[in-house]
Chains A and B, each alone.
Chain A
Amino acid sequence: MTQTESAARKRRSPRGARWLLQGLVGVGLVLASACLDEPAAPVKPGDDGNPGVPGDIEPEPSVEPDLSHVIGGKLILPIRLTPTPAGRLVVSDFYARRVFLVDPPTLRVLGGLVVQGGPLAVGLWGRRIFVGNAATRTVDVYDHRGAYLYSFGGGPGAVGDPTDLAIDAARGLVFVVDGRSRVVKVFTVYGDPVFQISGPGQGAARLQRPTGIALHADQVFVSDYGDLRTGDPARIKVFEYDGKLVTSLSGGNDGSKARFARPQGLTVDAQRRVFVTEAMSGEVIVLDPATGAVIKTIGTWGSDPGQLRLPLDVTLSPRSDAIFVTNSRNGRVELFAGGGAVP
């Protein structure tokens, strides 16, 4: 951790959301120790010496990423994306080994930062860019101008395959999908492991093959391929922070059949509707949060404009009803004007 990070940690306010964190941590630890098939990730003592309580995270003002000076390039295999405060897109590209800044109207690449390894997950908090690195099996953190700051999640048993991440900006928590160990691992933005959600195993509350993640109103939405061998079809599983399963969304009216087989990145709108990419069928499926039924689909399989091959993530425009999708096999980001509008 850099000196800057150390200084930032020392500036944290003594109170704030500590009570919530303490509660979450306590429950998370109990769940982790009682339910997980693998040992819980090591929990780093907090500043006050209490195990698992990292201290409150002082909010960091959001800063628009500026990667225009770093390096250009083009999209080859875009994986995940997230909107910036100004409405631009930050897009990870595994093969280009870059995280690109993309202009939404034109979908033109404005610049990018070079990642040593394989960038998968991306997220923003304050002036930081978080990148899940499949090669180093870490979450790498850069500043808003693309300068490397620090990494976390490395080491044996840590983040094996950071396929996606989501950030609770208010609490300064980073939720990382570890596709290899099949668990959602939660860190502070400084990299302190805090708690875990679910884990591998059988049962509705367990994760079989998690891929994408989104947060909404203190709930964690995880897309999961499931495992047909054990009768667990693909689902969008919704958890509380304490690991309690709220619901599973299948897209099927009867709840037993999966409307999708390869759910990947997802997002949730203000009405709690779930927009999830379906990698195999090449579409975005919008799910009713109450019933799990399909409200509508966006896009079709193919390579023409408006068509998708291996879509892996979706995000809503903060300024319009458009949605953006990483159209991976077509090597581009797809814009669906009005895609966010739901009848």
Chain B
Amino acid sequence: MRRLAPLSAVVFSLVLVLAAVVSRPRGAEGSAAVLLLAAHDPCGNCHSMHTAPGQTLTNDAVVEDLCLTCHGPAGPSPKKAEVHQHKTGSTYDFAMTCTACHNPHNHPTNWLGGTNLRLVGDERSAKITTPNSGVRDVVFESRGADSGGAALHSYADADQDANGVYDGVCEVCHTLTGVHQNSSAGYHRHQRGNSCLTCHPHVGQGGNVGAFLVDPTLECADCHNRPLDPRRAVISEFARRSHHVQGPVASADCRACHIQTRHSKGTVRLANADDPTNETLVVELTGDPVAAPADAAKLTPFCLACHDANAANGAPPFSDGVTPPNIDAGWAEASHKTVGYSCFGDGASGCHATAHGSDKQNLLAPHGVSPTPPANAEEEEGFCYTCHDGAPASTNIQGEFQKGANTAVRTFHHQVRDTEQSGGRVVECTSCHNPHQATNANKVRGVRGTDLRGNPVGPGTGNPRDALEYEVCLNCHGDTYLANRDINADGFNDTSNKRRDFNDSASAYHAVQQAGRNRSGAIQAALVGGLDTLSVIKCSDCHNNEQTRNALGRASNSAASPKGPHGSILYPILRDTSDLRAIQPAGQARSGQFRLCFLCHDKDKLKGEKDGNVGRDFAAGARTNFYGGSKDNLHWFHLSDFAGATCRSCHYNTHGNQSASNTIYRIIDGGPPTDYATGPPIGYKTRMVNFSPSVQARTGFTKPVFRIDVGTRNRGCLLVCHGTDHDGTGDFTYNPQARHGQPGMDNDPLKYTP
């Protein structure tokens, strides 16, 4: 049993104090700090004169046990400590007792004449007996610029004072560590000039008791908010325009991606979010993935571990609770993947240059470059043009978007440029293309659309099938077609709700959603380019690069590229001409004004030209349902110089005629005539007739009239056009079958079941 003897302790304290005064260290003369530190006073705290079991009369047999009674985890001192010993598996086998580095009595002077901080160094000359480099002088006078002091003489100063000596209190021992080597040939960039104890407290953790283990209270941002050679400052990147983690970045957010098991070993190591403790799935980057394709390739499975259907093993990866978009769903087949691109790259080899934050949208590369106007305004398409300007992509999409000059009412190209986007009308490349899913066969794959019922379709909707092309178009050209749109400003550029136009129950429509209503032999005979009356076409079969006009039928029949409704020299992004000017002076109309129609509809059949002879009757080759009266082929008659009309004079809205605003449909179906002034009635085939605004109403009518007698199959017009009054009788009435008497001439019923 060892009792403390207070009286003896007091006497012994006096002895120790006297001894300390007598044996003042060199260089300490005049210093007021030579006596015992107040926190350790009096001597009896640690020493007993008669009963002390330890060396130097300490009250504990092992000096660190004595220190730890106060400085251990459960001790009352706020300065926690532990015996400093080798890391498990270390080359060295050592255990430094507290007094190996610390003089418990005073701050000793160092070999440069200054006074060391934190009791560091031997009492006499501030030396440390190191485990592998002998007895070393130590200098520990400041904690570096980060704590407001001079940058010299920190825990490890790597000879910043250029005196030829590595004399920081930590580096004198740590001569061959992985991240800091006390050698001019060694690696000593790690945290140079900063406090080692910021990250590595005396209190160890886990199985490796001692230093070298990161303080669990330390936040990632405490260090990575500034450059750490060779690491750049990353915390500030989360404040950029686009970034992971919405809101404050916690250390747990960092650890969601960065595994810490080999922290500060010189490589970036990333854990798989679905199995974060599985070392075999860890991605270790040895180079910069932005510049090194091999490293970039490693990152793709890492990224997709979160960007898949189950996020981070069923939970959002970050503290913001945001569920990552599912990229994995279509990436395997995506064109960008099949051509060998990775998630990461410089913008040409991969699209994303950082997972932290980018000054561009969607973490796009290069992350640290803020696009400057006007590039800033056109940032998204500008990024895509990095490749899609002809190289390395084979097509020049950028050139398509530079065709023509859009006005408020004339659109030569989709207005992806922000300088063209005003009043909330915004379209970007990703409005129509999902870069993670698009394939050559389906370029709108992965994009949500709107079906003809107005319901969303596509990924993440209640109808998750791939959206069709027209359904993507309906996102803007459907119910919201009028949004922020300047219409009819010049009297010609009218527009309409294409969801209504293409409605599959409507009277007449182009066959975008399903085969058209008119399946007569005449129209069958007039279709070219491989089309027939059961064909279904796409929006892009009319709206496409004008160079695709070199082939009849679908735009895909053309070898020209690029394809798609990006832009055309012919507004509104048409493959060929479709002049809106409805009525021309007699003799001035030319088929060149409506060549778009003739890409699919055989003009020879409409005009009756055969073997170089202009004809107008069936025998001359005319195949048309607009046939009758004394003029036989009325398409030829109207489109010829006699009438000066264009196709759109009578088929003004060629998508469908549900939105006809200048037409009254008069239906005679076994009773008195019924007029429909706001669109054709469901159940009657109206042959896409809807008159141009330039066609005028007869006296007594509010609009031009298109009349159908279901019983007699007679049809006629009551209107005024280029000064001619069509009174609906005689030559202004037609009946193809009655006139020609040939089977197949408008043998299609005039009624249908809705």
Contacts and interface: CB of A to CB of B under 8 A. Distances in A.
Contact of B4 (A80, A135, A261): A261
A209 B203 CA distance: 20
Interface in A134-154: 134-136
B73 interface: yes
A213 B207 CA distance: 29
A33 B404 CA distance: 80
A94 B73 contact: yes
B205 to A, nearest CB: 6
B266 interface: no
Contacts of A301: 53, 60-61
A206 B62 CA distance: 31
Contacts of B217: 117, 135-136
A5 to B, nearest CB: 21
Interface residues of B, number: 38
Interface string B65-88: 110111011111010101000000
A280 B42 contact: no
Interface string A296-339: 01000100000001101000000000000000110000000000
A81 to B, nearest CB: 12
Given A233-B6, A258-B4, A301-B61, A80 B204 contact: no
A279 B69 contact: yes
Contacts of A233: 6
A229 B41 contact: yes
Nearest to A263: B69
Interface string A261-291: 1101100000000000001111000000000
B76 A310 contact: no
A94 B62 CA distance: 21
Contact of B65 (A120, A163, A210, A309): A309
Contacts of B76: 163, 179, 182, 209-211, 225
A56 interface: no
B2 A281 contact: yes
Given A134-B73, A257-B6, A301-B53, A280 B209 contact: no
Interface in B242-284: none
Contact of A135 (B42, B53, B72, B216): B216
A228 interface: yes
B206 interface: yes
B450 interface: no
Contacts, number: 112
Contacts of B66: 280
B1 A297 contact: yes
A95 B68 CA distance: 14
Given A95-B205, A280-B60, A163 B78 contact: no
Contacts of B206: 76, 95-97
A246 to B, nearest CB: 22
Contacts of B207: 76, 96
A180 interface: yes
Contact of B73 (A79, A136, A180, A225): A79
B59 interface: yes
Nearest to A180: B78
Contacts of A329: 62, 65, 68
B1 A118 contact: no
B619 to A, nearest CB: 87
B385 to A, nearest CB: 47
B219 to A, nearest CB: 11
A116 B216 contact: yes
B276 to A, nearest CB: 14
A164 B74 contact: yes
A236 B273 CA distance: 51
Given A134-B80, A233-B6, A301-B53, A310 B42 contact: no
A92 B217 CA distance: 18
Contacts of A312: 72, 74
Interface in B91-138: none
Given A280-B59, A310-B65, A310-B72, A228 B44 contact: yes
Size range of the interface on A? 35 or more
Interface string B510-545: 000000000000000000000000000000000000
A309 B62 contact: yes
Contacts of A89: none
B495 interface: no
Contacts of B59: 261, 280-281
B216 A117 contact: yes
Contacts of A185: none
A208 B1 CA distance: 26
Contact of B69 (A94, A228, A262): A262
A56 B61 CA distance: 50
B9, B45, B66, B72 interface centre (most CB from chain A within 10 Å): B72
Given A77-B209, A228-B45, A120 B1 contact: no
B60 to A, nearest CB: 5
Q: Which of A161, A180, A233, A262 has the most CB of B within 10 A?
A: A262
Among A76, A95, A225, A264, chain B packs the most CB atoms within 10 A around the CB of A95
A225 B70 contact: yes
B498 to A, nearest CB: 49
A95 B82 contact: yes
Count chain B CB atoms within 10 A of each CB in A259, A265, A279 and give the residue with the most: A279
Interface string B168-183: 0000000000000000
B68 A310 contact: yes
Interface in A107-148: 116-118, 120, 134-136
B3 interface: yes
Interface in A73-100: 76-77, 79-80, 94-97
Contact of B216 (A118, A161, A256): A118
Nearest to A231: B6
A259 B69 contact: no
Contacts of B68: 279, 310, 329
Q: Which of A135, A257, A280, A310 has the most CB of B within 10 A?
A: A280
A91 B682 CA distance: 81
A324 B53 CA distance: 25
B287 to A, nearest CB: 33
Contacts of A76: 206-207, 209
B82 A80 contact: no
Contacts of A182: 76
A101 B102 CA distance: 37
B37 to A, nearest CB: 11
Contacts of B69: 261-262, 279-280, 310
A80 B217 CA distance: 21
Contacts of B1: 281, 297
A110 B184 CA distance: 50
Contacts of B61: 301
Nearest to A79: B74
Interface in B1-22: 1-4, 6, 9
Contacts of B82: 95
25 contacts: A94-B74, A96-B207, A97-B205, A97-B206, A120-B73, A160-B78, A211-B74, A211-B75, A211-B76, A225-B70, A228-B41, A228-B44, A229-B41, A229-B42, A261-B45, A261-B59, A264-B74, A279-B74, A279-B75, A281-B60, A282-B65, A301-B53, A310-B68, A310-B72, A329-B68
Interface of B: 1-4, 6, 9, 38, 41-42, 44-45, 53, 59-62, 65-66, 68-70, 72-76, 78, 80, 82, 203-207, 209, 215-217
Given A79-B73, A262-B75, 5 more contacts: A76-B206, A94-B74, A163-B76, A164-B74, A261-B69
Rank and list the top 4 A-B pairs by shortest CB-CB distance, nearest first. A209-B76, A94-B73, A262-B69, A279-B69
